[in-house]
Amino acid sequence: MKNIDFNFKNRTAIVTGGAQGFGLNIAKRFLNSGAKVIIWDVDPEMLDKSNKELNSPNLISHVVDVSKYKEVEHFTKEVIKKSNIDILINNAGITGPTASLWEYDIEMWKKVVDINLMGTFNCCRAIVPNMIKNNYGRIVNVASVAGKDGNANASAYSVGKAGAIGLTKSLGKELADKNIAVNAVTPAGAKTRILDQMTKEHVQRMLSKVPRGRFLEVEEFTSLVCWLSSEENTFSTAAVFDISGGRSTY
């Protein structure tokens, strides 16, 4: 697939969970399109690897756990000392174990919701005031088809992603009178490390529901995220953009 470059010159973007998978690919396309990129990820080793791979003077990385508001607030202040934040991609996420709700480890359930939902809230909470001040912002919240359909044996993940969709609709309306767009995207399965957290049967079940009959490519996902993050997106907000190969047609 040919990668189209967007125009992100003079834009600063924060990509959470950008040390690998979707986030890394988004960071790469942002950099190639002229943006300054800050990656926030909880995994220092993967951050080190991605820094080497991206190898750009326009890249900064911070070890941040998005589920911890104090950390998010601290690093937001660090970033805005130097530049405004134009783009926020809330992409950090984990699936947690594949287990029925009544057998789910309670602490793990809370952790999955904390990262997928509270992480999105924390980053929006800390960064939106800077966007309001500048009357410019593009926020993309990476949800999942699980948040629309509800996947069996993935209750915490489905709840976290459904919550992120609700948050998107609410915040998008709160900011609709400004040049700030807040949208969610709902990908189906793509071959990133996150699939290792699920059982093979669970992954096969997910794939069997996709009319396209294949996994989503990370580059295909990045294209949608880039358009939603671009200056050209002047009208769409508080919306959910599906990229599930025909699985969730609503």
DSSP class of residue 116 equals I
Known active-site residue 136: no
Pairing of strands 36-41, 59-63: parallel
Nearer to ligand NAD, 23 or 172 (CB): 23
* Residue type at 154 in one-letter notation: A
Nearest Cα neighbor of 121 from 86, 85, 170 is: 170
CA distances from 98 to 49, 92, 109, 215 (A): 28, 19, 11, 19
Q: DSSP 3-state assignment of 63?
A: strand
Nearer to ligand NAD, 193 or 214 (CB): 193
Question: Per the residue annotation, which of 69, 104, 136, 157 is the catalytic one?
Answer: 157
Nearer to ligand NAD, 42 or 162 (CB): 42
Phi, psi torsion values for 81, nearest 5 degrees: -65, -30
Residue in this structure with the two tokens 């988004």, named with its chain if needed: 26
Sign of the dihedral through C-alpha 16, 19, 23, 24: positive
Q: How far is the CB of 17 from ligand NAD (least distance, A)?
A: 3
Footprint of ligand NAD on this chain (CB under 6 A)? 16-17, 19-23, 40-43, 46, 64-67, 91-94, 115, 119, 142, 144, 187, 189-190, 192-195
Q: How far is the CB of 143 from ligand NAD (least distance, A)?
A: 7
Q: How far is the CB of 239 from ligand NAD (least distance, A)?
A: 17
* Max Cα–Cα distance, the chain, nearest Å: 50
Distance CA 104, CA 96 (A): 10
Nearer to ligand NAD, 12 or 91 (CB): 91
Q: How far is the CB of 20 from ligand NAD (least distance, A)?
A: 4
Nearer to ligand NAD, 19 or 37 (CB): 19
Q: How far is the CB of 133 from ligand NAD (least distance, A)?
A: 25
Catalytically active residues, by annotation: 157
